[in-house]
Amino acid sequence: LTEDVARKKTEYQKNLEAYKLARSRFEEHYVK
């Protein structure tokens, strides 16, 4: 159970990083 939670947390962190990266790129292209 603990391992599963840790794995989900890691996945979440990865997705969060990817989201931030994509969002900053999007803003660079379209907000300016």
Confidence class of residue 19 from pLDDT cuts 50, 70 and 90? Answer: very high
Q: What's the pTM value of the predicted model, to 2 decimals?
A: 0.62
Give the domain extent around 17: 1-32
- The one-letter code for the residue type at 17 is E
Please report which confidence band the pLDDT of residue 7 belongs to, taking 50, 70 and 90 as the band edges: very high
The span from the CA of 23 to the CA of 2, in Å, is 31
Please give the tally of structural domains in the chain.
1
Taking residues 3-23, report their average pLDDT.
Answer: 98
- Alpha-carbon gap, residue 31 to 25, rounded angstroms: 10
Whether the pLDDT of residue 32 is over 80: the answer is no
Q: What pLDDT score was predicted for residue 1?
A: 83
